[in-house]
Structure formats: structure tokens, C-alpha cells
Amino acid sequence: MRAGGVIRVLTGPKAGILRRALLPALVGALLMAPGFAPRVHAQDFGLTSDVKIKRDAQMLVEADELVYDYDRKTVSAVGNVKIYYTGYTLEAETVTYIEVTAKLIASGNVKMTDPTGVVLYAEQIDITDDFRDGFVGSLRVDTPDQTHFAAERAERTNGDQTVFVNGVYTACEPCKENPDKPPFWQVKSARIVVDDKEKLIHFHNATFEFFGLPVAWVPYFTTADPSVKRKTGFLAPIIGNSDTLGWSLSTPYFIALAPSYDVTLTPTYYEEQGFMGEVEWRQRLRKGQYSLRMAGINQDNPKNFLKDPYTDAAGNKVYAHGNYSQDEFRGAITSAGRFSLNKNWTFGWDGTISTDRTFTRDYNVLNDDTDFTTSEVHLTGLDDRNYLDVRAEYFQVLTDSMSARYSQGRQAVISPVIDGNHIFDNPVLGGQLSLTSNLTVLSREEDDPFTIYGQDPSAYNGIASDGTTYYRGLAGEYVRLTEELGWERKMIAPGGQVVTAFASLRGDVFSVDPTGAVPAGFTDESTPGRIMPTAGLEWRYPIMASLPGSTHIFEPMAQIVARPDEPLAGKLENDDAQSLIFDDTILMREDKFSGYDRVEGGTRVNYGIHYAGTFDSGLTLDSLFGQSYMVSGENSFAVDDISGVGGYSGLESRASDYVGRVALDTGRGTQLMMRGRFDQEDLGVNYGEVGGATTIGAVTASATYVYSREQPTAGKLTSTSQITGAASVKLADRWRAFGSAVYDFSADQLRRDSVGVGYDNSCVSLSIAYSETRGVDIPERSVMFRLLLRTLAEGQVNTSIQ
């Protein structure tokens, strides 16, 4: 019996489904009694008692014809069959149900798409009545995350495992121009078992192929299903080599203990030093997250880290690496966390404790390759208008330079520092009233002095002299409480002039208890205090000029700040106001010191002009040029305080150095920037910075050159000149070469450099790079090879070269 046309069936038989409940209604639709019409509903004819109808399930079946064989008890949909049901789509030349064997067979260019986007291609699908078990011939499967399976045939068992026989797996897209071309990489395996329950893929007797050529054979390995983001199992190994460690192999093992926490165990074997254990715990809680990492090793050859010794003043041999690395056991612990206590308050920490200064750098674990670590704990509150931050900090030196500058005892311990800012709701005299607070509690075990020798007092404004000793910090306890009440009002004057009036009243109370040397001129009071009132006015007059193809804004500006001389100038410890860099960014700042320990005094005028231009071509220009002038009172930057701040800054003379910048953006991938500080007498460059970045065709490059004149009061007795550059060049389709370098003209030395080549596409990323670091306490030369196969593995091999 034959019938053609479109049949729509509302039914839901007991039969299971092919791959997550496909086609249950098809069985009921095709097993109707003889005589059904082209358009029928399940309730229009008698179903057997074991078929239950799901009234809300709707299915659409399209076919050229339906064939019912009463003798063989089969029903077939033949010709351009398309079946749509609950998000699934099945396309085939023929779909046949065999009642006797309880099998459903789809054959001929079968294509099935499930609601998740997984697409299955096959010549034939043969499954059981409950749709749990069966096999598929000439199979290809494409998943939404661009992974692909192919096999001679596949078997479905236990309803949750699919076995691909003589299968192939890859995450590479087929070549559009030549689909038969082998992908960049693929894994051929005698059996690929996809376990839906465990979310694992098992490969048996697997061969890795690149460009169709076999390069490695593995008897068995397992990887997580690409759809799984966290799964227990081994991560990609890391292979390394260095002179002090020998060859090394790390085999990280990730354990997904629960959706909210996991642990990673990383045993590493070093040829020269033995086994090191590393563990990382991560946990996410309802209001935050934290992590804990630990690493430790009993070294087999501790003396491998020691450099050639030198003889000190007492005639003793001293190793540049000290005695730290001679200990057998070395290790470190680091932890970080952040929690939201409520919508306004957060609490967190970030800290590292290690047995010695260079453990994390020698073994490249836990921390980046830095000269120090900062451990801190903080509590921060922030709402729309107010701010409060409380934190304690500890600094650990990680270098093994024999300079006393790197003595751990010289490092400050902050316990704590509290910063607050409160903006009052109601305006006062038409302006905004705010309260700024700071409390700093600081201690040191040792003085941190440095002495300037060989500098002519007249070399640079007469500030530095031979034998002058400065202190970056004093041993003992130091406490400062600062409160500043500020007011500001912005007004628009006739013609578009912008006038800002401001005033403040600041008070500081100190507690000073030095336990070491006391510099000459240092206060003899244990609890000194100071008061600083300030009043000022700022004027800006933006003038816009529109021309054909461009718009220009010229903005002259001036600011006057009036206040008395700085109380106790140069007589107090200065810890947080040492990083004084006078440039265009602080030209109009009323107090140019970087912290609270110093406060600018006297009456000063700041002035300059700002220009901004935009052009129809997309090009933009931005520039600023200006100067600061001391009108009356004592110049705080000419006071020789115990830290030497102010001298050589460009602000120590009545008329300051000129500062300026020019920034250009072509709008077509090229940016240029110039910034500088120029001597007020001869416009000589005291500080200069020139940088740029561009993309031209296949080349992307950036470079920055920095020059700074000597600054003895900061410990710099000579000028510095350095250039940093990086570039990447597209060599061919998906191939690139890259490199970077840092050259120090002052030392006539290439400090750092690296060069490499890489390949990147949608399924693989690989690179090989050589890098070298010089002029540091632990110089390094290394070669690193990195390979990433998307969805499958990531590994790297690195070796240090002596």
C-alpha cells in the first residue's frame, strides 16, 4: 500500500529516541492500521495498548511516499524524508521501522541534527526500538564547538556510550577549497569511546597525524569531552631543562572535587634536584573566592645555584647567591582571595611566604619573575560618593644582590595604612565639600641610607654635594594621621570661560620613634604636627575653530595656589612622597608631591596651553605645554629633605622646567607620542620619552625610547637611556615571526631580547622562541617550544642555555 504527501502526526509512542529522544512519534505514525489518510492524527485510528500518546508533542514528517508492508510488518517513509520533532531534525532517503526486530533504520545520506547543534552524517543508522543501543555505518559527526568525528562504523551501547570503530577525531575545519586535504592535525584510533555519563573520550591504539603524516603513537589516552570545562584528569605535561635543575618533567593532575572547588597536584622531577611537590586549591563561595598554592623540594644538589664567590673586607668568601640555596629544603606558600561582604564592602588578601629570596625564581613557580613580592590584606568600602580602604602590607625582596640596598631589614612593614574620602551631600557656598583622611603606621628594622659621592655641587642647580647621605627610610616606628577638608566650585564665566575656585585645610599629626641613626636637621620632637591652609583659583578658556575638514580647540589655562611655607620642611621622615616625577600629567595639580609625608608650601602659579584637533581623515592630535612658577615663599622642592626628594625634579628653581606632550593618532593603525621635560634656561632635555605603535600590512610594531638625566638624590649618578621594542610580522597564511628587545644605551648592553616564530589557526597554536635576560642577579637564556591542540592538549618544552 502506498500513500504520498505530507503527514502531520500528534502522538508520542512509548518507543525511545535516537540520540536523546529523536523520532518517538514516527513509530506511532508509521504503525497505523491500513487505510490511513495522508493527514491523520493518532486518535483517528486504533493504537496498540503499549503505545502511549504524549498529547503536547508535535512532529512533522515529510516524504515522497509512505510504504506499509503488512506481511513483513514494516512501515517506510521513502524519498527526501525529513522529520522534525522537539528540536531534532532527521534527513534521509529512507526511514523504515521493522516491528519484528524492534529496529528503526534510516539509510541513504542520513543527516541528523539535535537541539544542541550536533550534526551526524551516516549512510545508515540502525537502532533498537527503545533507541538506546544500535550502530551507525559510514559515520561523520560535527559538533557546535567545531570538533569532528568520523568512523567506518559506530555502536551505541548501554544508552550512554558510543564506540567509533577505526575512528578519526580533529578540531580542525576541513579545507574549503580541497575538502579531501588532511587537516593540520588529527587522531586516528582503532576505537574511540565517547562516554556521555562520565563526559570522557577514550582513545585506544591512537596515532597523532600532522598534515596527514603520523608523528606519534600512544596505546591509550583519555581526554574530557570538549563541552566539559572542568574534568578530573591529567593536564598537559611540561618539559624543561636548565643548568641548575637539569632536565625536568611536570605532570599536573586536576581533580574536580565539586562544582565550586578543585585541586591541582603537580609533581615535578628535576634531574639535578629531585622531586618537587606543588599543590593548588581553588574554591568559589557564595560571596567570593580564594586560592592556596604551595610548593616545596628537598634539593639533591643545593650548591648548583651558587655563583663564583668573592672575598669580602674580612677576607671571607661570599657567594653571590648567599647561603639560601645551600639549604636542602626550599619552598613557598602563596594565597589570594576576595570576598564581597555586602554591596559596598569587600575583603581580600594576596600574600607569599618563602624560605628564601630566589626559590620562586630559581624554580619558576608560584610567582612571576619579579624582584619582590607584596603581601597584603585589605578591607575596602565604596558607595556612590564615599570610599574607605584599610590594608596592611609586607614586602619581600627576591633578589640576591649583595648590595645592602636589598637587605630585608630595610623594607618597610605597613601595619596598616587607611585611606578614606567622604563627599558631603549638601553643597556649601555652591560648591562640593569633601573630607580626605589617611593613617599610616610603618616600621623598619634597619636604616635605609645611600650616600652621593663624586658629584660637583654646581653640576645641577647646586642641590647635591660630595658625601651627602640620604635616607629612603629610618629604622623605628613611624605614625602619621592626616585629615584634609576640601572645597571646590566650578563656574562658567561669560564667553565660555571655566573658573574653578578651591580651598582646603589640612592637618597632620606624627609619632616619630627612630631607633637608628638620626640625620642632621631631623626633628627632635616625638609627636610633631603641622597645619596647611590652601586657597586657589583655576582658569581655562577653551576656544574652538572649525575649518573645512577639521576642528581645533585651543585652551589656555592658568592656576594660582596660595598657602604658607611648608611646616617642618625636610625635618620629617619621607616614605610615601619619594616618587616625584614632574611632567605634563601633574602640571595643574595643586600639590605635586606623590604622598602625604610632604606637603607643598608657598604661593605658586601653574600655566600652560592645551590643544586638541580632529580631522575628517580620522587623524587626531592632542598636546599640552606649560610651566610652573614659584611666586613667593619657600620652595618645598628646593628643601633638601632626608630622602633627597625635590632636587633634580625640575621644580627646585623659581621657574620650573617646561613640560609638554604631543600625541598623534592617524586613525589608521598608527599612534605616536612624545613627552618631555625641558630645562628652563636652555631647553635642554632633562627627561624625554618617544613612543609609537603601528600596523602596516603584515607588520605590527611598537617602540618606546626613554632618556632621563642624572638624579643623584634618587641614587642615579649618571643619565639613563633605554629603548624598548617589539614587532610581529605575518610571514604567510597563519605564520608569524615575533620578537622584542630592551637595549640600555647607558650600560651599552642589550638587557633583554627574544625572537620566535609561530603558527595559529582555529585548531592549533604552536610557537618556538629564544629569549635572554642580562644585567640581573639571575641571568637567563632559554628556548621554549609551545604547542596547543584545541580541545585536546597544551604542552610546552623549555630549556635554559648556559
Instruction: Write the pLDDT tens digit of every residue in 625-657.
Output: 999 999 999 999 998 888 888 888 999 999 999
Cell numbers describing residue 462: 647646586
Q: How many residues does the chain have?
A: 802
Torsion of CA 589, 594, 595, 598, to 10 degrees: -80
Domain count, the chain: 1
Unique residue bearing C-alpha cell 593532575: 253
* Residue 111 resides in a domain: yes
Q: b/e map of 441-453 (b: 16 or more CB within 10 Å)? A: bbbbebbbbbebe
Range of the domain at 218: 2-226
Please say whether the dihedral angle defined by the alpha carbons of residues 24, 28, 31 and 36, taken in this order, is positive or negative: negative
Is residue 452 in a domain? Answer: no
Distances in Å between the Cα of 756 and the Cα atoms of 541, 615, 697, 700, 751 are: 52, 39, 20, 15, 17
Alpha-carbon gap, residue 23 to 59, rounded angstroms:
8
Contact status, residue 127 vs residue 104, Cβ threshold 8 Å? yes
pLDDT score at 791: 77
Question: Which pairs with CB-CB distance under 8 Å and at least 24 residues apart come from 421-428?
Answer: 421/386, 421/387, 421/388, 422/385, 422/386, 422/387, 423/385, 423/386, 425/385, 428/487
Whether residue 56 lies inside any domain: the answer is yes
Look at residue 243 and give its three-state secondary structure: coil
Q: What is the pTM of this model?
A: 0.76
pLDDT at 652: 92
Residues 6+ apart with CB under 8 A from 294: 278, 279, 331, 332, 333, 334
Closest CA to 169 of 189, 193, 155: 189
CATH number, domain of 133, equals 2.60.450.10
User: Residue 465's Cα: distance from chain center in Å?
Assistant: 45
Q: What is the dihedral of CA 98, 99, 101, 107, to 10 degrees?
A: 20
Instruction: Say if 153 falls within a structural domain.
Output: yes
Residues 254 and 281: their CA atoms lie apart, in Å, by 10
Residues 6+ apart with CB under 8 A from 527: 509, 510, 511, 512
Is 532 a member of any domain? no
The amino acid sitting at 387 is Y
Task: Give me the pLDDT at residue 159, please.
Answer: 67
Place of cell 597584603: 376
> In the prediction, which pLDDT does 576 show?
93
pLDDT of res. 694: 96
**Cell numbers that stand for 59 in this block:** 512532529
Please report, as a single letter, which amino acid is at residue 353: I
Inside any domain, residue 541: no
Q: Tell me, what's the pLDDT at 382?
A: 93
SS in 3 state form for 147-172?
A: CEEEEEEEEEECCCEEEEEEEEEECC
Helix (H) or strand (E) holding 29: helix 24-30
Which secondary-structure segment (H or E) carries 108? strand 103-113
Q: Are 167 and 192 in contact (CB under 8 A)?
A: yes
Three-state DSSP class for 420?
A: strand
| Residue 9 within a domain | yes
The Cα 372–Cα 370 span in angstroms is 6
- Predicted local distance difference test score (pLDDT) of residue 146: 78
Return the CA Rg of the chain: 37
Q: What is the 3-state secondary structure of 115-141?
A: CCCCEEEEEEEEEECCCCCEEEEEEEE
Which parts of the chain register pLDDT below 50?
1-55, 322-324, 457-464, 802
Report whether 262 contacts 253 (CB < 8 A). Answer: no
Cα 766 from Cα 757, distance rounded (Å): 9
Q: Determine contact, residues 564/600, Cβ cutoff 8 Å.
A: no
For residue 515, the model assigns a pLDDT of: 92
Asked if 686 contacts 679 with a C-beta cutoff of 8 angstroms, the reply is: yes
The amino acid occupying position 778 is I
Which of 184, 185, 149, 142 is closest to 166 using CA atoms? 149
Three-state SS at 585: helix
Q: Can you tell me whether residue 401 is helix, strand or coil?
A: coil
Task: Report the alpha-carbon distance of residue 262 to residue 608 in Å, rounded.
Answer: 57
Q: Distance between CA 446 and CA 412 in Å, rounded? A: 9
Is residue 212, in this structure, part of any structural domain at all? yes
